[in-house]
Amino acid sequence: MTINVLMTVPTGPGVGLTSVSVGLVRALEQQGLKASFFKPVAQPQPGDKGPDKSTAMVAQGSSLTPAEPIPLHEAERFLYNDNIDELMEEIVGRFQASVEPDSTVIVEGLAQIAGHPYATRLNKAIARTLDAGLVLVTAPNNMRVNELEHHVEIAAGSYGGIKADDVIGCILNKTTPGSLGVKSYGDLFAQRGIFKRNFSLLGQIPSADELTFPRVKDVADFLGANIVNAGEMETRRVQSYTLCARGVENVLEALKPGVLVFTPGDRTDVIMATAIAALNDIKIAALVVTGGYQPSEALMSLCGKAMAKGLPVLSVNSNSWETVINMQSFNQEIPLDDKERVSMVKEHIARCIDHEWINSFALNQEERKLSPPAFRFRLIELARSLNKRIVLPEGEEIRTIQAASICAERGIARCTLLGNEKEILRTAQNNGIELSHGVEILDPASILERYVAPMVELRKSRGLTEIVAREQLEDNVVLGTMMLQTGDVDGLVSGAVHTTANTIRPALQLIKTSPDASLVSSVFFMCLPDQVLVYGDCAINPDPNAEQLAEIAIQSADSASAFGITPKVAMISYSTGGSGTGNDVDKVREATKIAQELRPDLLIDGPLQYDAAIMEKVAKQKAPNSKVAGKATVFVFPDLNTGNTTYKAVQRSADVVSIGPMLQGIRKPVNDLSRGALVDDIVYTIAITAIQAGNIKS
């Protein structure tokens, strides 16, 4: 068993040691490397209950199940009795039970917090015991370059100094551009002697305000508030707060997206103004009425429409001033049930770690399993390298606007929103969404005319006239499809408010299938805890015949390869091998034969039952000679009923994230969204569409 061990240790208090540690695990997972995590000793914060926070954060969205750390009181007992060797034995036992063979292990050291003077001493002993390379974590805290250099060198001195073989380098956390007197933290390499061959700058993690925004629910719990109207308190986040005790005309500027409004409960005018702002689609975080006042039923009825739009209203007994002062002690740490924020922190930190350094820990590159984090990371990186232009016909829809903003910020694609510019900008402003120059807004009325003639030419065999073409182009999906057909954009994503038919029909009429395809099909990327699988076809073809099913299998295999998944194709049926009979099994058996003959380079086997395709133990019993059974990565279902039911059953029962459907066989990339799509779903679909555009052979 080969294991690389990296231990994160702080250079001082408040450096964000836990966030960096869990982010390092995600960085390893993104690169497809086998990762493990271990926290030797728990350090709970006052009021913490339940499992260790670091361990629980690592386990969220991952297949890892790290061992629980030694309780702090037990570790202190060993130290006070001068039994540090016995403590190390206990730590080694838990370490060996926690790590996977051939993995890179991130060990989180003890943070430097009040009342724990032994942290550095214990970190040294743990690192020596586990033979760990040391990664210093520091936060510049407005230090100048020379101050930072001395700070890191002094901290490294506790572990043998920056020249020691096991002191690898430093990660700068919570950085602010310009705070060290340099334009870029990379300039530290050129300017200072601290970062040398054996001691490197391993990551620069900028501060990000959005990672600190708590949910309204968290604030309500902290204040012990009574819930007058729950609204969207589970999802709305607090970006700032304001005390409104003056006349309404003096508080209007404070009513912004994300603001938590405190006002005395008898200030009916402020309550009404906040409700009016909510009715104008300004996503105020919440309204908190103070002083123990309860808004009257008449007032609540008058503000009913604002409440229906999701405005949370809370009530507290303390007065406004006491409540605001109390907020100063609000704990900004991430609650474990805030999965969205935990994921955001992981992804943010992982993006900022030196990827070359992470890849240096590859032990068996060829055996890397494409985990969900690795798959999502690959999607984003591939899309960024292509710089494609994607049209979004549902440009006035809030999730679509937010996704376009994220894509611009991260350089995933250049998004074009179709819709009324004033309406789009108003929606963005009211929801605190920043639309940079990377997002283009086009008013459909201003561009419609240029696509009339090309559309008439395309459909002249169908007798399309200019009048009818102009009428059809008033549908933004049709207009976006014509933009794609004429090469003005590289791909199209729609479906957040339109049906699948609305998205696909124009593409089939105007763009048509690829030269080598006779049908359009679809795949879902199913993000299981430890692996990404491909399911096809779960959205398009109701009952394909054997030839069509073979084509779907080949399309799905090629799609898997395009996204870094080694295709091992299982043709799914209710029977494995030759054990069953019937028209449905015969169809799958014939489709398997056709696909194998058309593409002998692919691993395709069938018919296989689902359990035989995915479980090695079952495969050994039912299909012992199959190279696919038990190892399948692409699952091709015999009909839409089976495919759609299976993907939804797996998605819902196993809490699996599914990305798709991604359409296959169309000459240019068009992709459909679920009408319940989340913002992240739209972002990843845009990335997939950009990658498909890059794979088109000109």
Least confident segment among 153-162, 221-230, 269-278, 576-585: 576-585
What is the per-residue pLDDT for 415? Answer: 96
pLDDT score of 374 more than 80? no
Please say if the pLDDT value at position 84 is more than 70: yes
Nearest residue to 523 (alpha-carbon basis) of 658, 674, 614, 390:
658
Locate 174 and state its tokens. Answer: 């919570």
% the chain with pLDDT above 70: 93
* pLDDT for residue 482 is more than 90: yes
pLDDT score at 175: 85
Percent of the chain topping pLDDT 90? 41
* Rounded-to-integer distance, Cα 623 and Cα 612, Å: 7
Task: Summarize the confidence of residues 376-392 as an average pLDDT.
Answer: 90
pLDDT of residue 194: 58
- Which option is the CATH number for 4-208: 1.10.238.10, 2.40.50.100, 3.40.50.300, 3.40.630.10? 3.40.50.300
**In angstroms, rounded to a whole number, what is the distance separating the alpha carbons of residues 420 and 397?**
11
Distance CA 292, CA 613 (A): 62
Q: Work out the angle at residue 283's Cα, subtended by the Cα atoms of residues 280 and 284, and round it to the nearest 5 degrees.
A: 105
Six token digits for residue 688:
């997939």
pLDDT band at residue 189, thresholds of 50, 70 and 90? very low
- Residue 146, sorted as left (phi over 0), alpha (psi -120 to 50) or beta, turns out to be alpha
Q: What's the pLDDT at 580? A: 65
Pairing of strands 657-664, 521-527: antiparallel
Amino acid letter, 516: D
Kind of pairing, strands 286-290 and 532-536? unpaired
Pick the residue with more confidence: 51 or 448?
448
Categorise residue 160: left if φ over 0, alpha if ψ from -120 to 50, beta otherwise: left
Query: In the prediction, which pLDDT does 197 show?
Result: 57
Q: Residue 656: its pLDDT value, please? A: 78
**Most confident of the ranges 52-61, 171-180, 364-373:** 52-61
What is the pLDDT, as a whole number, of residue 671?
A: 93
pLDDT at 193: 55
User: For residue 248, is pLDDT > 80?
Assistant: no
Q: What is the dihedral of CA 32, 36, 39, 45, to 10 degrees?
A: 40
Beta-sheet strand order (sheet of 603-608): 603-608, 568-572, 634-636, 532-536, 521-527, 657-664
- Which amino acid type is present at position 419? G
The second-level CATH assignment, the architecture, of 372-510 is 3-Layer(aba) Sandwich (3.40)
Give the bridge partners for 263, in sequence order.
Answer: 289
Spatial CA neighbour of 53 closest among 14, 18, 99: 18
**Residue intervals in the chain for CATH 3.40.50.300:** 4-208
* Residue range(s) occupied by CATH 3.40.50.10950 in the chain: 372-510
Return mean pLDDT, the chain: 87
At residue 1 the predicted structure's pLDDT band, cuts being 50, 70 and 90, is: very low
Rounded CA-CA distance 452/465 in Å is 9
Chain position carrying tokens 């507290």: 316
Mean pLDDT of 308-318: 90
With tokens 């794609």, the residue in question is 484
| Nearest one of 168, 87, 180 to 133, comparing CA atoms | 168
Asked whether the beta carbons of 43 and 72 are under 8 A apart, the reply is yes
Give the helix, strand, coil percentages of the chain, each rounded to 5: 45, 20, 40
Say yes or no to pLDDT of 191 above 50: no
* Residue bearing the bigger pLDDT, 253 or 235: 235
The answer to which of 6-15, 44-53, 345-354, 623-632 has the lowest mean pLDDT is 44-53
Superfamily of chain region 215-327: HprK N-terminal domain-like (3.40.1390.20)
Q: Does domain 521-665 have CATH number 3.40.50.300?
A: no
Q: What is the mean pLDDT of residues 134-138?
A: 94
Full DSSP string of 43-97: -PPTT--SS-HHHHHHHTTSS--PPPPBPHHHHHHHHHTT-HHHHHHHHHHHHHH
Sequence ranges of the chain with CATH classification 3.40.1390.20: 215-327
d(CA 326, CA 312): 20
- Quickly state the pLDDT bin for 234 (edges 50, 70, 90): very high
What does the alpha-carbon distance between residue 523 and residue 567 come to, in Å, rounded to a whole number? 13
Q: Is the pLDDT of residue 686 over 90?
A: yes
The pLDDT tens digits for 90-101 are: 888 888 887 887
Q: Name residue 261's beta-bridge partners.
A: 242, 287
pLDDT of residue 698: 53
Q: In the 3-class helix/strand/coil scheme, how is 266-302 assigned residue by residue? A: CCHHHHHHHHHHHHCCCCCCEEEEECCCCCCHHHHHH
Question: Which one-letter amino acid corresponds to residue 392?
Answer: L
Question: Is residue 569's pLDDT more than 70?
Answer: yes
Residue 329, pLDDT > 50, answer yes
Under the banding of pLDDT at 50, 70 and 90, the label for residue 366 is very low
Give CA separation, 531 vs 68, 234, 369, 565, 582, in Å. 24, 30, 7, 10, 33
Return residue ranges of the chain for CATH 3.40.50.10750. 521-665
Mean pLDDT confidence for 160-177: 86
Average pLDDT (30-45) is 87
Measured between alpha carbons, how far is 285 from 256 in angstroms, rounded to an integer? Answer: 9
Is residue 36 within 8 Å of 21, Cβ to Cβ? no
pLDDT at 578: 67
pLDDT at 359: 82
8 Å CB contact between 290 and 228: no
